[in-house]
Structures are given as C-alpha cells and as structure tokens.
A and B are shown apart, each in its own frame.
Chain A
Amino acid sequence: ETGVTQSPTHLIKTRGQQVTLRCSSQSGHNTVSWYQQALGQGPQFIFQYYREEENGRGNFPPRFSGLQFPNYSSELNVNALELDDSALYLCASSSPGYSGSPYEQYFGPGTRLTVT
C-alpha cells in the first residue's frame, strides 16, 4: 500500500509569483484535503476535493485554488504569493467508504514553501 506523497519537498519563491504543489493520495482513497501549517501552529484547513470537485473550503482567499485528477492525485495552486504564505503545506487523503472512519485522514510529509 502506497502512502501519501508530496512534491516538491522544499520550494523558495518570490513575493508575487505563483506556485503549484502536488500530492498523490494513498491507494484506495478518493478524497484529498489540503492544509497550511504555519510555524508553531496546528494545520489549518484550506479545502477538500472529492471526485474532482471542491467539497468544502476554509477561510482562504480565492488565490488559493486546487484541482483533483481522475487518479485522485491533486494540485494546490497559490497565485500572487505573499510573505505570510510561507508555511508547510500538507496534503491528506481519506475515503468515505474505506475501512476505518471517514474522518481519519492520512497525511503526506508536506512541502515547505518559503516566500521571500
């Protein structure tokens, strides 16, 4: 069974630029959620994708957008980067019909984004 993978591991961007982060969900999972974790804080929900449709969104501006592909992998896109976007971005997968609770999400190692 393959776990959740994310790429790249680290990324440095300049303010105003755009960035794309990628996530492959755990085998058998059809739901992907994205979280932002600022230093010293808990992860904060950005949005979730289920069967290629956005299925819930947290308090993040529209310049945070995403995609989910037929193989359930996902992208997080951030436009017009700001300094405060510097954080660890975590992807988590889950599946409503999978064994275990649908609330349980399985996280990847994250992408560390630094905006200068």
Chain B
Amino acid sequence: DQQVKQNSPSLSVQEGRISILNCDYTNSMFDYFLWYKKYPAEGPTFLISISSIKDKNEDGRFTVFLNKSAKHLSLHIVPSQPGDSAVYFCAASAGGTSYGKLTFGQGTILTVHP
C-alpha cells in the first residue's frame, strides 16, 4: 500500500530551465508535506515543506505547490543548476502523535545537464 507515490523514476533537464517533480498521495490524514534531496553516500537533506493549510510555499529557487483536492504536490526548481542533480523524495506526515512518522515516496532522480 503505497500511500505516497512519485510516478516518475527520473527527470532530465537542461541547466537554467525549470525542473518539476511530482508527488501523489492517498491518505487524507496527511497534513504536512516535505521534500528531501539525497546525494549518493549521504543522508536525505531537508529542502522545503508545506502545511495543508497552504497551497504554495517558496524558498529561493524552490517552490512547493499543494493541491489538496487532487492529493497532489509538486516541487518547482527555477532555474535548475547542475548541483541540483540528486534523488528527490517527497514525504508526508499525518500530524498529531504521528507527526514524527514520515511516509516517503520512491524518489525521482533529477539530472541537470550543463
């Protein structure tokens, strides 16, 4: 039962263009969503998050959009840089006593070409 899904295993983008990574979820109890970036031989690094009371959150080049009715979120990276090449995971939390339990998607490998 995959409650968080990232249906694109990989994405290839040219430097300077926009990267859009997508994530779908099924559990309506999820109320907080996060994106993590992972380089080889390192642990996931927190990137950006969004609460279910918002539909957009920006941090520099990174913007996360949440569509609750569609149970869909996306991460936009503008402009994309070669250093952004990594595996990106979306994660969700149900809050309350479950806030510490993150449910992750399978990840999307982003490659940004110079």
Contacts and interface: CB of A to CB of B under 8 A. Distances in A.
Interface of B: 4, 6, 32, 34, 36, 41-46, 49, 51, 89, 91, 93, 95, 97-107
B32 A44 contact: no
B106 A103 contact: no
Interface residues of A, number: 29
A43 B104 CA distance: 6
A85 B43 CA distance: 18
B98 A56 contact: yes
A101 B89 CA distance: 18
Contact of B43 (A55, A103, A107): A107
A81 interface: no
Given A55-B100, A103-B34, A42 B43 contact: no
Contact of B32 (A40, A48, A94, A101): A101
Interface hub of A45, A58, A106 (most chain B Cβ within 10 A) = A45
14 contacts: A40-B107, A45-B103, A56-B101, A90-B43, A94-B100, A101-B32, A101-B51, A103-B32, A103-B99, A104-B46, A105-B100, A105-B102, A107-B36, A110-B43
